[in-house]
Every structure is written in C-alpha cells, then in structure tokens.
Amino acid sequence: MSRKLQRTPSCTDIGFTLRRQFKKEEFRPHQREIIEAALEGYDVYVQAATSFGKSLCFQLPAVVESGITIVVSPLLSLMINQVEALQASGIEAYSLNSSTPPSIRQNIYRDLATGHPHTRLLYVTPELCSGSNFRERLQVVYRQKELARIAIDEAHCISEWGHDFRKDFKRLSWFRETFPDVPIMCLTATANANVRNDIMSILGIVPDSKHTKMFLMSPQRSNLHLEIRYTKDEDDDRLSDFLFWIRGVYNRRCEPARKAELDRTGERVENIPGIIYTTSRDECESLSASLRDAGIGARPFHAKLDKDTKEETLARWINNEDGYDIIVATTAFGMGIDKDNVRFVVHWRLPKSFEGYYQEAGRAGRDGNASYCFLYYSREDLERVDRMVSSDAKNPNARRQSLNALARYCENISECRHAVVCAYFGETTKPECDFACDWHKDPADVQSRYMRGLADAEFVSTQAMQGTYDVSYEMSMDPYCDD
C-alpha cells in the first residue's frame, strides 16, 4: 500500500501542467510513470543517467499536489539554479541555506509557521535539516497535513558522504522516523547496488512493491564518446596534446562549408563550450592561464574564488561569451551543472572516484548531441590519488574500491568503455556502443597508446615507496561541501 491512499486521488492532467507550467512539449521516456507513482503516494527511487530530466519528477508533483515539497540538495549552486528556473516559471520555490539573506529566511520560516505554506518547493541542505529550528517548523506543517513529499536529489551523497564528511546526510533518517506517512523520492545518476541499499536503509525506504516504486534505468549516455589518454610524468604532454586536439576542432570549423553555416547562425568558431577538471586550485589557475596564453578562452572556477567572480564566470560561460569557452574547474563545479551544449569534458587528472568521474563526464552533451569525454591517466597520478584517499578519508576502504574500479577502467584495453561503466553501476545487459568509445573506434590504437604512454608499474611503485611523489598535490576530499 502506498503512503498516500488516505489522501484524495489526483485527477490532474499532468501533461497539461507539463506544457503550461514547465513549457515542455512532452514527457521524456519514464517521466510520466515516475510522476504518476509519486502522485499515487509511493516512495520512489529513481536511478537514471545524467541529463535524464530527474528534477521534473519531483517538481511537477509539487506543483499539482497540495502541500509543500522539501527538496534536499547537496550543493548551493545546484539549488540556486533550480530555484531561479522555477521562479521564472511562476512557481513558488525558495532555498534555505547558510547564504539565504535574513529577511528571506524570516519570510520562509513565517510561511512554514502558518502550517499552510504558500511555498510549493523548499530547497534545503542536509545540514539545515538537522537544525531544531527547521525541524520544529516542519512538524507544524506536518500536523496540518501539508507536508507533501521529501525529495532527496543526488541521493548517492548519502552513502558517499553520510558516513564521514557530511554526517547530516545520514541524519536524513529523521524524516521517515518523524513523518512515517510522508512519501520520499530519491534520485541519483550514479549508484551501484551497495550505494542503493545504503541510501534506502538510511532513509527508511522499504524495497517492496507495496510501498515503493523503483525505477532503475541504464546509466549509459550513448552520445558521449569516452576515451582514455595515457601519459606519464616524464612526458608532461597534456597541454600540447589538448591544444593539438582543440585546434584541430577549430580548424574543422573553419572549413568553408562549416564556416558559412556558423556565419549564418552567428556562431563563433571557438565557441566549443567545455570543462576541464583538475584536482588542485593551483593547477586550475595555472592551466587556465596557459590556455589563455595559447589564445584559448579559458577561465578558472574553484571554491576559493569570490562569489561574484564565480557567478560572472558561470553566467558568461552559459551565455557562450568570447573568452569564456572553457571552464577549468575543480570538482566544486560538477553535479547538476545543466548547460545544454557542453561539447567536451576533459579530466586533466585522475578523479578520486568512479562516481565522480561519471557525474562530471555527464555535464557533456545534455542536448543529446555527440560530445567528447577524455581522461588523462597516468600511474603516477593513481599513486598520488590513492595516497590522498587512503590518508584523508575516514572511510578509506569504500573510497579505495571506487578509485580502484576507476583505475581498472582506465587500464582496460579490451572492452567497450560504456560496457565497463554500465557493469560498474550494476547494469546486467551490455549497452549498445556506436563507435562511441576509444576501444570500439580503434582497439589496436588503444593498445599501442597504452603500451607507449604509461610508466612501468613497478617503477612507479618503487618511486612511490621512495617518496618521490610527495610533491604537493592538493585535493579537497569534500569538494561539494559549500554550505
């Protein structure tokens, strides 16, 4: 039995709301079923590829149902973007976090204290949910039967961080304990079976068909070309390799037929929006400077930049402005970034988890068009990241497992990249890959690049034992904690 049968069944035409309020022509596959399950009062677990359109699955029910939906989101920038978009569509949505101005905070609290809030969607951080002030207000709303739903966006964070960095993710168990009949929806693009079980057990979601509807879709993004580029410290060739690649793309766009087309649409040759992920703020700054010196419009983005600079950089990149084609970012710039025409994502260094890699790659090609994702892999970087993960984390085993899986993916030269990704996330069927990875495109080339490109494994581990890699390799272990 779903958690909402005691309420009046909804006879709303959700297709009409989709068109009128959200200005979208039609549902994407599975969105309608997910929204219907939510409206029937089930707990809903949604696992779907990046850019699937998961946000709509809790936003639309929040608009058609009575009561307020609380959306728990890990990232300030993510909630601000979503709230702005909802408000622009005339929907009463707000966010409540450490940077909410006092006057707005007061208004929101006053609205909650009435027990019958006007607010349809309230975005909050897990940290806020642990505060007694917020909890008391929400209990008032609940007693008036106006608490419609709890939506947990980017739910994998519960498992990834709830056990150490951001314990408040784990404390989200409070919702089910306190409001046993309020449905919960959780959404993620990147969870394997262990992470999924962990999320559901923390949130008190029972995995049976009476209470819960599970939607497990393939994580595959078939429009992303996945590639590993092998390198080693000795060669130090990332910059020249990247410049060669991007200039090749510009040159192709300068060919007469293509150029005429771009002129017709008023598009610049260099407007190939992309993101390069680095792991340190210093490298983020120095790499964007080197790219600018080479005539490429690149800007840094990391947590230490002031708020105005970050907002300006993001806005100008989103508007495709000259000089802002490429964002060189730390992982502070990741989950939830929703620019439709990102044509490439480059990982300059090895990310520290499989999930992080795939989330970040998922910023590319959100318009469905072909996009390029490549990762520079070196065994020296693996040593460095492994050391960071082992020493910094309070939960090193799970983190090392994810890093090791990523290293195996990079070192795998005999399988489709998409197949390895899907297998990691527990997909049992092999995905179709239409030459959308380096192995499908040219397996012999992958093999020879692998043989040529990497440092000898034994040499690397000897060097590591001698402390050769003890150079500063700043890496935040908790990049998303910006509240």
- Under the rule (CB under 6 A), what is the footprint of ligand ATP? 24, 27-28, 31, 50-56, 189, 336, 338, 362, 366
Kindly provide the residue ranges of all beta strands, DSSP E only, lying in 68-209, ordered along the sequence.
Answer: 68-72, 93-96, 121-124, 147-152, 184-188
Half-sphere exposure of 214 (CA within 13 A, CB side): 13
Residue number closest to ligand ATP, CB atom: 53
Distance separating alpha carbons of residues 156 and 276, to the nearest angstrom = 23
- Closest CB 327 distance from ligand ATP, rounded Å: 16
Q: How many residues does the chain have?
A: 483
The nearer residue to ligand ATP, 18 or 419, going by C-beta atoms, is 18
Query: Buried b / exposed e across 59-98, counting CB within 10 Å, b at 16+?
Result: bbbbbbbebbbbbbbbbbbbbbbbbeebeeeebbbbbbbe
The nearer residue to ligand ATP, 27 or 45, going by C-beta atoms, is 27
Question: Tokens 């006879």 appear where?
Answer: 11
Half-sphere exposure of 95 (CA within 13 A, CB side): 23
Closest CA to 193 of 402, 427, 358, 431: 427
The nearer residue to ligand ATP, 7 or 24, going by C-beta atoms, is 24
The nearer residue to ligand ATP, 22 or 174, going by C-beta atoms, is 22
Distance separating alpha carbons of residues 153 and 189, to the nearest angstrom = 10
Tokens of 35: 């929204």
Q: Which amino acid is at 3?
A: R
The nearer residue to ligand ATP, 187 or 200, going by C-beta atoms, is 187
The nearer residue to ligand ATP, 18 or 475, going by C-beta atoms, is 18
- Closest CB 55 distance from ligand ATP, rounded Å: 3
- Closest CB 205 distance from ligand ATP, rounded Å: 19
The nearer residue to ligand ATP, 55 or 313, going by C-beta atoms, is 55
- Closest CB 403 distance from ligand ATP, rounded Å: 21
- Closest CB 171 distance from ligand ATP, rounded Å: 23
The nearer residue to ligand ATP, 70 or 189, going by C-beta atoms, is 189
> Mind giving me the DSSP string for 41-63?
T-EEEEE--TTS--HHHHHHHHH
Tokens of 98: 């450490």
Please list, in sequence order, all residues whose beta carbon lies within 8 angstroms of the beta carbon of residue 259, skipping any fewer than 6 positions away: 253, 269
The nearer residue to ligand ATP, 83 or 382, going by C-beta atoms, is 83
- Closest CB 50 distance from ligand ATP, rounded Å: 3
Distance separating alpha carbons of residues 142 and 181, to the nearest angstrom = 10
The 3-state DSSP class for residue 226 equals strand
- Closest CB 156 distance from ligand ATP, rounded Å: 10
- Closest CB 362 distance from ligand ATP, rounded Å: 5
Phi/psi at 385 (5° precision) = -65, -40
Helix (H), strand (E) counts: the chain: 21, 13
The 3-state DSSP class for residue 215 equals strand
- Closest CB 206 distance from ligand ATP, rounded Å: 25
